[in-house]
């Protein structure tokens, strides 16, 4: 209750500061107008307000606002859609990025006035503001969305690759949460710029019935109050649309996040068929004369090992001997410099990485079920497994980013166990767990992995013993 009251107080204080700043500058404006004493040079706030009140009661005022607003917003929406689409394509296809780069640089470099004059040769003045708004918005949205895509967490993408997530799930659960902040920032900048550029284009092209035409007439007839009044209209309309548009984006993002938190936990009683074990005989995994180097650092050198099918094998070695590198090679996330790995082809993998690699906007339950089809989720079984890992059932619907480190680790382990797999790879799965929780996790892993192929990296002999595992030392 106290924190809510403090938040309200801060909000009111911020609003009061902003209001005081506006009043201060209006007072400065009034003082400057009185000092000059010439309305034709600097109209007073009162004169502008009177003129604005006279304008808003006329039908042609609203017609001019609608004329300009529809065309500028059309250009904004086209630029936004084109920027998102081409940014997505450019992130996948290098030749599209190379093709678009010169055009984006050109649009950024050329002055707005030059664009207006060039576009007027091909486009009627009535549609000029839409084209200019599009040209101003497109490079901003394209650059920012592409930057958001490229800054997506590579570790989450590796997780998606190992768990065989579909393209749509990668977009929804990984890319969109990453891109939304970049998109909102770009829209905030682009909305202001498209209104400035669009109205400037109308002032040059002078299309009938536009705000730009009204500004031009005010300038020709030296009607300074009218000029200030229409400028105020542009500012207000631009700010209102920016606030409304961003509010819609944030609300849509909120609905998406809420849907993500519930995903995978809303189908109680359905059978999780994907977790059934493949009873076909499996080939042992063999690593023969494996080499892997990072520049001058030789991590693996002529390494050989065998991992028996249907058994748990623990890899043990001091830090820095290449245990994680070996697992990455087995998962296909990296390629060896030499040697051969056999027995992995065609096998479904599941993994616990050194990091938890949970999608932060998804619920804990949704993260666990991320690799399952909706028809394969089972809420009652999920709750049972959470309890077996000493996790409160309430955290099933809790966003992963709000969980503690130990809770995240257990959710990552459950995700690996729940996903359909032939070979399970565990990279130090018990790190950060206390003794009691560690025992529960070990029991759950034993229950899920009996008679199945598991490769586990651990530093503790007791883990290998309690898992009943064979040991490979590096």
> Regarding beta strands 470-473 and 453-457, do their DSSP bridges make them parallel or antiparallel, or are they unpaired?
unpaired
151 phi, psi to nearest 5 deg: -90, 5
Within 10 angstroms of residue 114's Cβ, the number of other Cβ atoms is 10
CA atoms in the 13 A half-sphere facing the CB of 454: 28
Average pLDDT, the chain: 84
> What sign does the dihedral 382-384-385-391 (CA atoms) show?
positive
Give the pLDDT confidence of 135-171 residue by residue, as tens digits. 999 999 999 999 999 999 999 999 999 999 989 889 8
Q: Specify the DSSP class assigned to residue 363.
A: B
Q: Give CATH 1.10.3720.10 domain extents, the chain.
A: 39-262
Q: Facing residues of 300 across strands?
A: 292
> Regarding beta strands 297-307 and 285-294, do their DSSP bridges make them parallel or antiparallel, or are they unpaired?
antiparallel
Give the pLDDT confidence of 160-202 residue by residue, as tens digits. 999 999 898 898 889 988 999 899 899 988 988 888 899 989 9
pLDDT cut 70: percent of the chain above it: 89
d(CA 255, CA 399): 14
Contact criterion met (CB below 8 Å) for 180 and 253: yes
d(CA 217, CA 204): 12
Within 10 angstroms of residue 166's Cβ, the number of other Cβ atoms is 11
What does the block give as tokens for 296? 């001058």
Residue 443 has pLDDT above 50, yes or no: yes
Q: Give CATH 3.40.50.300 domain extents, the chain.
A: 275-473
Residue 271 has pLDDT above 90, yes or no: no
Contact criterion met (CB below 8 Å) for 261 and 366: yes
CA atoms in the 13 A half-sphere facing the CB of 14: 6
Q: Which of 73-77, 121-125, 312-316, 374-378 has the highest mean pLDDT?
A: 73-77
Residue 52 has pLDDT above 80, yes or no: yes
Contact criterion met (CB below 8 Å) for 204 and 111: no
> What sign does the dihedral 165-370-178-409 (CA atoms) show?
negative
Look up the pTM and report it. Answer: 0.80
CATH, domain 275-473, list 3.40.50.300, 3.40.50.10540, 3.90.226.10, 3.30.1120.80: 3.40.50.300
Task: Give the list of residues 6+ apart from residue 405 with CB closer than 8 angstroms, or none.
Answer: 356, 432
Contact criterion met (CB below 8 Å) for 245 and 234: no
Give the pLDDT confidence of 93-151 residue by residue, as tens digits. 999 999 999 989 988 888 888 878 888 888 888 889 999 999 999 999 999 999 999 99
d(CA 442, CA 429): 10
Look up the CATH architecture of domain 39-262. Answer: Orthogonal Bundle (1.10)
């Amino acid at each position: 209750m106290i924190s809510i009251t403090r938040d309200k107080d801060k909000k009111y204080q911020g609003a009061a500061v902003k209001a005081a700043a506006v009043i201060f500058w209006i007072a400065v404006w009034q003082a400057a107008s009185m000092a000059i004493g010439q309305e034709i040079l600097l109209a007073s706030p009162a004169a502008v307000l009177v003129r604005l009140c006279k304008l808003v009661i006329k039908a042609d005022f609203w017609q001019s606002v609608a004329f300009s607003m529809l065309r500028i917003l059309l250009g904004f929406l086209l630029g936004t859609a084109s920027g998102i689409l081409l940014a997505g394509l450019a992130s996948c296809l290098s030749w599209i990025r190379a093709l678009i780069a010169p055009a984006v640089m050109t649009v950024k470099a050329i002055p707005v006035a030059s664009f207006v004059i060039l576009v007027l040769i091909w486009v009627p003045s009535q549609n000029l503001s839409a084209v200019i708004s599009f040209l101003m918005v497109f490079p901003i949205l394209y650059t920012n969305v592409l930057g958001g895509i490229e800054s997506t967490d590579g570790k989450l993408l590796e997780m998606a690759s190992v768990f065989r997530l579909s393209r749509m799930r990668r977009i929804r659960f990984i890319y969109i949460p990453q891109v939304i902040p970049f998109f909102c920032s770009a829209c905030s900048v682009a909305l202001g710029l498209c209104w400035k550029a669009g109205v400037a284009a109308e002032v040059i092209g002078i299309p009938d019935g536009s705000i730009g035409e009204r500004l031009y007439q005010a300038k020709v007839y030296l009607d300074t109050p009218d000029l200030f009044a229409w400028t105020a209209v542009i500012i207000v309309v631009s700010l209102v649309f920016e606030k409304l548009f961003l509010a819609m984006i944030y609300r849509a993002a909120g609905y998406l996040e809420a849907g993500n938190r519930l995903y995978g936990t809303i189908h109680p009683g359905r059978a999780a068929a994907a977790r059934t074990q493949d009873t076909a005989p499996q080939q042992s995994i063999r690593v023969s004369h494996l080499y892997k180097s990072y520049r001058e650092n030789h991590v693996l050198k002529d390494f050989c090992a065998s991992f028996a099918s249907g058994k748990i094998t623990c890899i043990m070695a001091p830090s820095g001997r290449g245990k994680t590198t070996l697992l990455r090679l087995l998962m296909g996330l990296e390629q060896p410099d030499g040697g051969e790995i056999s027995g992995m082809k065609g096998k479904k993998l599941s993994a616990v990485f050194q990091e938890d690699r949970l999608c932060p906007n998804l619920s804990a339950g949704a993260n666990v079920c991320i690799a399952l089809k909706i028809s394969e989720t089972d809420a009652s079984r999920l709750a049972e497994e959470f309890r077996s890992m000493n996790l409160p059932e309430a955290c099933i619907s809790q966003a992963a980013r709000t969980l503690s480190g130990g809770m995240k680790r257990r959710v990552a382990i459950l995700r690996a166990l729940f996903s359909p797999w032939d070979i399970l790879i565990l990279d130090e799965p018990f790190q950060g767990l206390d003794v009691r929780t560690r025992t529960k996790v070990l029991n759950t892993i034993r229950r899920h992995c009996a008679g199945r192929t598991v490769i586990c990296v651990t530093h503790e002999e007791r883990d290998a013993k309690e898992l009943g595992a064979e040991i490979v030392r590096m």
